[in-house]
Amino acid sequence: MSLYNEVCREASAMITKRYSTSFSTGIRAFDKKFRAPIYNIYGFVRFADEIVDTFHDQPKAELLREFREDTYKAIERKISLNPVLHSFQEVVHEYKIERELIDAFLDSMEMDLEFHKYEDSLYKKYIYGSAEVVGLMCLRVFCEGDKENYDHLKASARSLGSAFQKINFLRDMKSDFAERGRVYFPGVDFNNFTNQDKQQIEADIKADFDHAYTGIVQLPDGAKFGVYLAYVYYTKLFQKIKKATAAHVKAERIRVPDSRKAYLLFSSALKNSFNLL
- Higher model confidence: residue 81 or residue 263? 81
Confidence (pLDDT) at 277 = 58
Min mean pLDDT across 51-55, 76-80, 163-167, 265-269 is at 265-269
200 beta partners: none
Element (H, E) at 71: helix 60-77
Torsion of CA 31, 33, 37, 42, to 10 degrees: 20
Question: Phi-psi bin for 59: left (phi > 0), alpha (psi -120 to 50), beta?
Answer: beta
**87 in Cβ contact with 75 (< 8 Å):** no
Local confidence band at 258 (pLDDT 50, 70, 90 cut-offs): low
What are the structural domains of the chain? 2-273 (1.10.600.10)
The whole-number average pLDDT for the span 8-31 is 88
Mean pLDDT value across the chain: 91
pLDDT band at 69 (very low <50, low <70, confident <90, very high): very high
Identity of the residue numbered 264: L
Q: Which of 274, 275, 277 is nearest to 229 (CA)?
A: 277
The values of phi and psi at residue 181, to 5°, are 70, 20
Proportion of the chain in helix, strand, coil states, percent, rounded to 5 = 80, 0, 20
Residue 243 CB coordination number (10 Å): 9
Which band of pLDDT confidence, cut at 50, 70 and 90, is reported for residue 270? very low
| pLDDT (0 to 100) of residue 274 | 44
d(CA 215, CA 51): 32
β-partners of residue 183 are 117
